[in-house]
Amino acid sequence: MARRKLPDRPPNGIGFGERPRLVPRPINVQDSVSKLTKPFKVPYRRNTRPLTSQGIVTNVPETGRILRKRSQTISYSGMEIDPENPINNENDEDLPFGYTQLKRRKDALSAQRLMNDPNRLTSIEIHLKKSFSVPIKGYIQRHSLPLTLGTKKKITPEPRPLHDPTDEFAIVLYDPSVDGEMIMHDGSHPVNDENDSKKNEKEIEDQKKEIKKKFIHPKIMTNGVRNKSLLELLGTSEVDEEKKFPNVPVVIDPKLTKILRPHQVEGVKFLYRCVTGLVMKDFLDAETVNTGIVAPQQNNRGAYGCIMADEMGLGKTLQCIALMWTLLRQGPQGKRLIDKCIIVCPSSLVNNWANELIKWLGPNTLSPLAIDGKKSSLASGSTTVAEAIKSWGQAKGRNIVKPVLIISYETLRRNVDQLQNCDVGLMLADEGHRLKNADSLTFTALDSINCPRRVILSGTPIQNDLSEYFALLNFSNPGLLGTRSEFRKNFEIPILRSRDADSTDDEIKKGEEQLQKLSDIVSKFIIRRTNDILSKYLPCKYEHVIFVDLKPFQKNVYQNLIKSRDIKKMMKGVGGTQPLKAIGVLKKLCNHPSLLNLDEELDNFDNLEIPSDYNMSSNSRDIQPKYSGKFSILERFLHKIKTESDDKIVLISNYTQTLDLIEKMCRTKHYGSLRLDGTMNINKRQKLVDRFNDPEGQEFIFLLSSKAGGCGINLIGANRLILMDPDWNPAADQQALARVWRDGQKKDCFIYRFISTGSIEEKIYQRQSMKMSLSSCVVDAKEDVERLFSADNLRQLFQYNDKTICETHETYHCKRCNKAGKQTIRSDAMLYGDPTTWNHLNHAALEKTNDHLLQNEFQYSDISYAFQYISH
């Protein structure tokens, strides 16, 4: 039997893993539009309808179910009709049963209807203009104007404190039960005099009365019916608009409470009471009680500032951050007191302030606008500094994204016009002693900003110059001491006359009375604490004033300089060189002879005995420390630190040339070092500081220019510091010396001030000591020389005493030391501002100190004497 032949491939692809091919079923699209336009058709309606006995069609089908009544006319407005299948509008007879002709809907004000009936619009207007009448028979309207419900009444919740004032660790800045009522003043529109104030108040009252007359109905209508107020109709009680809720306590944020020390808590409370007017209120009340005369309010306009004058290292920054954060977050009425704050500081501290805000408040808590010169620091959408400042100033309410502006004095002075129409709640002026000159452009620019609350931060307040004293106080508290002429008449002239050697007893008495009165006033607005407080929280600080003998070659050059023709003419007052120039030459010589061009500075250069191995070329790599007493000691100090400890050291000088020599020494010895001076870009300074403070960093030497980095920079990575040369301004030295003994320091600190024995540097130090003992500081160098150094003083200044071990100690006539300068009696208490109470160490006493660097100097003869201060 023949076999059936199999096909070449399975039918429909079966056997090859293929599915049957699916063909979509075609959709019937015939007359789709007409189907959509059909009215709903009951699916169970029968084609034949039963009739009644009278021949009337009934709606009840044979099934017994009631059919829904259909509308006879159905309109779908806006529906497009298929042009190929138009619906005949003339005849409805051909339509199926139950269908009616589709008709377009015409609006009441459609163009087609208005064209057909031109009078229709007029008729509508007439109907709309008819006054509404109540559809009640016999109703009589009894009000002259119809009453309306008006807008929904705004409900003001009762204020409550942001943080719990009853908490165990709560720090309350304001307690209404103790401090009384706080009268909040609006600083956005200051009043200049009493007449303007009264005039403005009267105008406001008149405007309120006119407004009330327009909207208040008579209490009794003409028909004798009492006219109820809207509040009565709504069922609410009438509340006086001017009535305020009672004040609530203001409490410091708990996250700041945990880190504030007792003296900082006291400082924050002082700042808050000053900027909110509580101190001024108490002061005026006391004046009224003492004199029986009510103090004029207009003289104290805007007196909501103060001066934070704590010494360096006490945490002025943290205290001001706590104040600013409190004002931005809360107030006695539950809402914040300020919307914006400006922090003005030296350019080198702009980024430091931004970092401090993040450090103490936490990341993403407060976003400041820190303008440090880089485009990346500007606000979004701003291409220039002026635009960024302008947009910051114009932001109001919820549009304030960055409430804190951090800016340098120079940048703000150039762009102050952008803030003329801006109300600033608080201004913090860091290193505020820059505002001591009331005629400077910086003072004028900052004073023009509309800000009622101003706080000056300065670790070196002014207390010996009355004009500068007035400038600072008049900036922080305008009008507190009257005008400039009133201050001169009432305080400055009587006090200066009382200090005159020819003053009478009456003048002395009057001067002392006015000085006491001035002190009583300003003491209310200045807070000053010394860094002795830090002894409780920081490691011990050993501060030394090292008197260094000049090397023989230095002495020779020094003596030749003071005998030159120019200096002799200057001391005689007949011309010659300027005092400051001559002082600068002698100070450089005390550091190192290589800093001078001897052939240009000396008249008798040819007669000068120059050592054979001395290299006069400034380009030489050999710095020759043996020809400088200071550099000889410095070389040994750095070697001991490098080989025997893991300490780091900061070297500070007023001259960049001195830093150049030290940097050359570091390269020669292969010591790792970093340098910060005025030539460094502002944006790179903080990175350099952070790099040095890193415990894992390889550099153990930090070279610092006192002018560029003496203020505000935190160098706690080091525990040793050397100030190579003194400055006429004792405040500059104090700022520089406070760079390492600060919050965060973990090691004992050793600080050294190098003073050349018997030279002009010792005269400068004596001037500083006298000022510090009188609690006076911040005097410009040029003004100081012109004011204090007459011809007699200049002759004393340019004398060199090579027979003394310490001329300063001799002027003390110290009774605790013998004739050889050895201390036999320790002081009962060391006062930082009074070196006479410090330990006095002659050369032999160096061997017994607890500093291994000074112990090593006992075997050398470069240190002639030393003063030592121990913090605790």
**String of DSSP letters for 58-78:** PS--TT-PPPPPPPS----TT
For 339, the 3-state DSSP assignment is coil
Please choose, from the candidates 195, 194, 188, the residue with its C-alpha nearest in 3D space to the C-alpha of residue 300.
194
* Residue (of 632, 612, 642) closest to 551 by Cα position: 632
Residue 148 confidence (pLDDT) above 70: no
Parallel/antiparallel/unpaired status of strands 749-756 and 839-842? unpaired
pLDDT of residue 172: 92
- Write down the pLDDT at residue 255: 93
- pLDDT at position 781 is 34
Residue 266, exposed/middle/buried by CB under 10 A (0-12, 13-18, 19+)?
Answer: middle
Q: Which two tokens stand for residue 853?
A: 């660097």
Q: Which of 659, 671, 806, 780 lies closest to 723 in space, CA to CA? A: 659
**What's residue 183's pLDDT?**
58
Could you give the CA distance from residue 319 to residue 634 in angstroms, rounded to a whole number?
Answer: 38
Q: How is residue 79 annotated by DSSP? A: P
Which comes out higher in pLDDT, residue 513 or 58? 513
Coil, helix or strand for 701?
A: strand
What's the pLDDT score for residue 573?
61
Distances (CA, A) of 688 to 492, 703, 773: 46, 11, 36
pLDDT band at 792 (very low <50, low <70, confident <90, very high): low
**How many C-beta atoms lie closer than 10 Å to residue 561's C-beta?**
21
> What average pLDDT does the segment 806-835 reach?
86
Residue type, 89: N
DSSP readout, 534-579?
GGGTS--EEEEEEEEPPPHHHHHHHHHHHTSHHHHHHHHTS--S-H
Please give the average per-residue pLDDT across 417-441, as a whole number. 89
Give the pLDDT of residue 192: 42
**Cα–Cα distance between 572 and 527 in angstroms, integer?**
45
Whether the pLDDT of residue 296 is over 50: the answer is no
pLDDT tens figures, 262-293: 999 999 999 999 999 888 877 777 665 555 44
Q: Kindly give the pairing relationship between strand 649-653 and strand 701-705.
A: parallel
Alpha helices in 645-790 (DSSP H): 656-669, 682-693, 706-709, 730-737, 760-773, 781-788
pLDDT at 290: 58
Task: Read off the pLDDT of residues 507-546 as tens digits, 9 standing for 90 and up.
Answer: 888 888 888 888 888 888 888 887 778 777 889 999 999 9
Q: How far is CA 774 from CA 62, 783, 861, in A?
A: 122, 19, 34
**DSSP conformational letter for 47:** S
Within 8 A by CB and 6+ apart from 709, the residues are: 348, 676, 677, 685, 739
Q: What is the mean pLDDT of residues 703-713?
A: 76
The Cα–Cα gap between 629 and 279 comes to 54
To the nearest 10°, report the CA torsion of 455, 456, 462, 463: 20
Q: Which residues of 55-89 are buried (b: 16+ CB within 10 A; e: fewer)?
A: eeeeeebeeeeeeeeeeeeeeeeeeeeeeeeeeee
Q: How far apart are CA 327 and CA 366, in angstroms?
A: 13
> What's the Cα-to-Cα distance from 73 to each of 18, 101, 105, rounded to whole Å?
57, 7, 11
At 19-35, the pLDDT tens digits run: 566 666 665 555 555 56
Chain-centre distance for alpha carbon 735 = 20
Q: Which band of pLDDT confidence, cut at 50, 70 and 90, is reported for residue 413?
A: very high
The CA-CA-CA angle for residues 364, 368, 374, to 5°, reads 115
Q: How many Cα neighbours within 13 Å face the side chain of 234?
A: 13
Both tokens assigned to 479:
């009008």
Q: Give the CA angle between residues 511, 517, 519 to the nearest 5°.
A: 100
How many C-beta neighbours within 10 Å does residue 134 have? 8
pLDDT at position 339 over 90:
yes
Q: What is the mean pLDDT of the chain?
A: 77
Q: Which residue has the higher pLDDT, 571 or 422?
A: 422
How many beta carbons lie within 10 A of that of residue 215, not counting itself? Answer: 8
Sign of CA dihedral 399, 405, 409, 411: negative
Residue 186 Cα distances to 102, 338, 452, angstroms: 71, 11, 8
Copy the structure tokens of residue 341.
């704050």
Name the packing angle between helices 316-329 and 350-361 (round to 10°).
60
Domains of the chain are 250-465 (3.40.50.10810), 540-870 (3.40.50.300)
Q: Among 8-12, 89-93, 551-555, 609-613, name the one with the lowest average pLDDT.
A: 89-93
Query: Which region, left, alpha or beta, applies to residue 73 given φ > 0 means left and ψ of -120 to 50 means alpha?
Result: beta
Phi-psi region of 352 (alpha: psi -120 to 50; beta: other; left: phi over 0): alpha
- What is the DSSP secondary-structure string of 763-788? HHHHHHHHHHHTT-----HHHHHHHH
Q: Is 343 helix (H, G, I), strand (E, B) or coil?
A: strand
Evaluate the CA torsion angle 586, 588, 590, 595 in order and state its sign: negative
Q: 546 pairs with which residues across the strands? A: 754, 866
Distance CA 593, CA 604 (A): 16
Rounded CA separation 763/778 (Å):
18
Pick the most confident of 727-731, 742-746, 791-795. Answer: 742-746
Average pLDDT score over residue span 766-776:
59
**pLDDT above 70 for 597:** yes
Q: Would you say residue 45 has pLDDT above 80?
A: no
Query: How wide is the angle at C-alpha 280 spanned by C-alphas 289 and 309, nearest 5°?
Result: 125
pLDDT tens by residue, 637-690: 999 999 999 999 999 998 899 999 999 999 999 999 999 988 887 778 888 888
Q: What is the pLDDT of residue 675?
A: 92
The single-letter code of the amino acid at 744 is G
Query: In what helix (H) or strand (E) does residue 509 lie, and over which residues does it extend?
Result: helix 505-522
Query: Is the C-alpha dihedral spanning 705, 708, 710, 714 positive or negative?
Result: negative
**Amino acid (1-letter code) at residue 653:** S
Residue that is written with structure tokens 């070659």 in the block: 553
The answer to whether 627 and 614 are in contact (CB under 8 A) is yes
Q: What is the pLDDT of residues 545-554, one digit of tens each?
A: 999 999 989 8
* Backbone angles phi and psi of 220, in degrees to 5: -120, 125
- List Cβ neighbours of 860 (8 Å cut-off, separation of 6 or more): 632, 633, 636
Q: Where are the beta strands (DSSP E) in 303-401?
A: 306-308, 341-345, 369-370
| Interval 473-493: pLDDT, tens | 889 988 888 888 888 888 888
Q: Residue 795 in 3-state DSSP?
A: helix
Mean pLDDT for 294-305 is 54
Long-range contacts of 465-472 (CB under 8 A, 24+ apart): 465/436, 465/778, 465/779, 466/491, 466/492, 466/495, 466/496, 467/438, 467/492, 468/436, 468/437, 468/778, 469/522, 470/438, 471/435, 471/436, 471/437, 471/438, 471/443, 472/307, 472/432, 472/433, 472/435, 472/436
- 52 to each of 55, 56, 67, how far by Cα in Å? 5, 5, 16
